[in-house]
Structure 1
Amino acid sequence: MSRLRQYFITGLLVWLPMGVTVWVLLWLLGILDGIFLGVLSAVEAMVPGLAMVAERLRHIPGLGVVLVALVILGTGLFVANMFGQWWLRQWDKIMTRIPVVRSIYSSVKQVSDTLFSGSGQAFSKAVLLQYPRHGAWTIAFLTGRPGGEVARHLDGDYISVYVPTTPNPTSGFFLMVPRADVVELKMSVDEALKYVISMGVVAPPVSAAVPGSPAEAIAPPTERSKLPLETSAADGAARSDT
């Protein structure tokens, strides 16, 4: 019985990653096809003469995925010029004037612009910090630096980090901690995510991940590797004025 159990677990470990991958791909395909069918139904309702064409398009497998991808690509090409940027600003003005939609649209837009911006610092580094108590270490991701009113209430050099939960990293905790309390890791963000999702089972290669010791976390900033968010002279002057 023990050998049968071992064989079953071994076979499960072979098929589970493939099954989850196929399930995720089918889920994404279902979402894209659903968007396509929704748009097709709206066009059919507005133009009754296209009912025959719409019925034929519904039975073409994968057409929704291709068309949605082309629409997204075309939108990117459209807003890459000045004319498209003008239309995008007009669209943003309309969306920000609708009472309920305004809060959702603005929040999602700000987060997506930060995450997908090529010049942003969001999730650019994996760091090590003590959380939720002193002596307990966890992996976090650098998301930026506190700003606005929050920065005026923080005395010292602080950074913003995101602490993901395990095994689902899409939920977690947002923390603002002193820069001197974190240790920069040499592992990539992808390797750190794999480490978190696997609950420490899939460890990054030693050559790619050389985390600092706990002593480095409490050492002065001059004795540790710097994170890529150096405080500029202008920021320092602004803080001193406040």
Structure 2
Amino acid sequence: MRETLTPLPEPDPAGARPPPRVSKKSRLRTYFLTGIIVAGPLAITIYITWWFISLIDGWVKPLVPASYLPDHYLPFSIPGIGLVIAFIAVTLLGFLTANLVGRSVVEFGEVLLARTPVISGLYKGLRQIFETLFSANGTSFRTVGLVEFPVKGTWSVVFVSAPAGPDVQTALGEENDHVGVFLPCAPNPTTGFFFYLPRADIIEVPMSIDDAAKLVMSAGVIQPEDPQVRLQAMAASIRAAQNGQATGPEAALEASSRRQEKLVSTE
């Protein structure tokens, strides 16, 4: 008598496995962290903006007669009136300075300040700084570079400012083209070290000043990211959430558990 063999069931392919379920606790934690990521920067931005507007209003409003302020006629205070008045006043001052009459008045005032012993040096230094930072043809930080500092083999992020002046270049030697660089300290980039280096010792990096400042303030945690890569990651997270799959740390834990299950099954 011929024996009939029953075929064994074929194993389910990996793609037919249903997606792992995410617990309510994990979803709640993900939603909470997402809310913090969205609300945190927004709240801090609103707070700083409100503080700046209140500061300018406190400076400008006492200088304006009360009869010219809307607060005198309304039962409530309108924030930002002082900021608007300051903006109009500064713009009008720039317009007058660009004309011949306004330029003559400014030059006359500078002559008076130049004759004052202490104020003259302070005014000249501040004006040079403001012209460098805010002028259209100024020489503010526009390039990011890497220098070998503090020891050989370690590289630090620097902001390249301007070439060395004639006196500094002559003192350092004409054979090398020296340039001034600012080495910011982390996590506060407003403090640091300024020194001159040969241009050949600086490796320029195709990075914006904003990205470099974020890199320094975060101590390397926030890296410059391609917008396309960011959009692709966001799209992948949205698709995973729509399919009921975990993302982020939960996805890593589930992937690790699946690998362990495969190892146990093979043994």
1:169 Cα deviation from its structure 2 partner: 1.8
Q: How many residues align?
A: 198
Aligned to 1:118: 136
Q: Percent identity?
A: 33
Match of 1:216 in 2: none
Query: What per-residue deviation string (whole Å, max 9, x for no partner) do you get for residues 180-215 of structure 1?
Result: 11001112222222222222222123699xxxxxxx
Kindly report which structure 2 residues correspond to 1:133-144, keeping only aligned pairs within 5 A, or say none. 133-144=151-162
2:201 to 181, 188, 203: 181
Taking only aligned residues, the RMSD between alpha carbons, in angstroms, comes to 2.8
Shift of 1:116: 1.8
Runs of 4+, deviation exceeding 4 Å: 2-11, 51-55
- In the alignment, does 2:41 pair up with 1:17? yes
- What are the within-5 Å matches in structure 2 for residues 202-241 of structure 1? 202-205=222-225
Identify if the C-alpha distance between structure 1 residues 160 and 105 changes in structure 2 by more than 3 Å, giving closer, same or farther. Answer: same
- Could you tell which deviates more after superposition, 131-140 or 147-156? 147-156
What is the letter of the counterpart of residue 214 of structure 2? K
Structure 1 SS opposite 2:180: strand
Deviation at 1:36, TM superposition (A): 0.9
C-alpha distance in 2, partners of 1:150/1:31? Answer: 41
3-state SS of 2:98 partner:
coil
TM-score, normalised by the number of residues in structure 1: 0.70
Structure 1 residue 61: Cα displacement = 2.8
Does 2:72 correspond to 1:56? yes
Q: Check the 8 A contact 1:141/1:162 in 2, yes or no.
A: yes
The answer (yes or no) to whether the contact 1:121–1:142 under 8 Å persists in 2 is: no
CA-to-partner distance for each residue in 1:127-179, whole Å, 9 max, x for gaps? Answer: 11122222221111111022153332112211001112222222222111111
Question: Equivalents in 2 of 1:14, 1:157: separation in Å?
Answer: 47
Question: Which stretches in structure 1 are left out of the alignment for 5+ residues?
Answer: 45-50, 209-242
Deviates more, 1:123-132 or 1:52-61: 52-61
TM-score by length of 2: 0.64
Contact 2:180 2:196 in 1 (8 A): yes
Separation (CA, whole Å) in 1 of partners of 2:168 and 2:113: 27
Structure 2 unaligned regions, length at least 5: 1-24, 229-267
